[in-house]
Amino acid sequence: MKNQLKESILAKRNSLSKEEILEKSDKIKDSLFHLTHYKTSKTVMFFVSFKSEVNTHDMIKETLKNKTVIVPKVVHHEIEPSVIIDFDNLVPSGKFGILEPIEAMKIAYKNIDLILVPGIVFDTEGHRIGYGLGYYDKFLAKVPKAIKIGLTFDFQVIDKIPREMHDVPVDMIVTEDRVIECKKLKNKK
């Protein structure tokens, strides 16, 4: 069921035009930038979008002006959070060709305030289905204090998805239409 769900949502996302992706991503950026969690954060970790994901490139460039920005660098099948100074210094890497820093500029996990998380499917309680490699679940488990926000298109959010023991849910989900506070965030206050 998980794979069928993943494939059908991914097919729908891949059918979006570049214009639709940018338009929806712009609305997501506006909602994100108005959130208190974003405004008060000093260090924000973005995923660097590729293909039909919510486009984070402009969000990263804008955030670089006034906050410390971190992006993932995959090292030995694990996410290494890396500080970046300039978006243009990122280069395609790995089998997906996702933009990454050439060298990781490390940061202590405890210094990460906010993590923006990709996914193919999310549910309203913050659980997600990713690409199936487990990189994010492993990484998110190491930063329990950071606020985790899923950035996704609204059609990618469903009521409930199958869960596994190692899954780490996000605290909030931001789509082009709404901001969803997941149960976990209410317990963090």
Please state the domain extents for the chain.
2-184
Burial of 15 (0-12, 13-18, 19+ CB in 10 A): exposed
- 46 Cβ contact partners less than 8 Å away, ≥ 6 residues apart: 56, 59, 60, 63, 69, 70, 71, 116
Lowest-confidence pick of 80-84, 107-111, 129-133, 134-138: 129-133
Cα of first residue to Cα of last residue in the chain, in angstroms, is 34
What pTM does this model have?
0.94
Q: What is the pLDDT of residue 189?
A: 42
Task: Find out whether 9 and 120 touch, Cβ atoms under 8 Å.
Answer: yes
| 162-187 confidence digits (pLDDT tens) | 887 778 999 999 999 999 999 654 44
Which amino acid is located at 143 in the chain?
V
Question: At 9, is the pLDDT very low, low, confident or very high (cuts 50, 70, 90)?
Answer: very high
Q: What is the Cα–Cα distance from 73 to 64, expressed in whole angstroms?
A: 17
User: Any idea which fold 2-184 has?
Assistant: Rossmann fold (3.40.50)
- Check residue 92 and give its pLDDT: 92
pLDDT value, residue 167:
83
Q: For 72-123, how does the pLDDT look when each residue is reduced to its tens digit (9 = 90+)? A: 998 888 899 999 999 999 999 887 889 999 888 999 999 999 999 999 999 9
Q: So what's the pLDDT on residue 134?
A: 80
Q: What is the pLDDT of residue 87?
A: 95
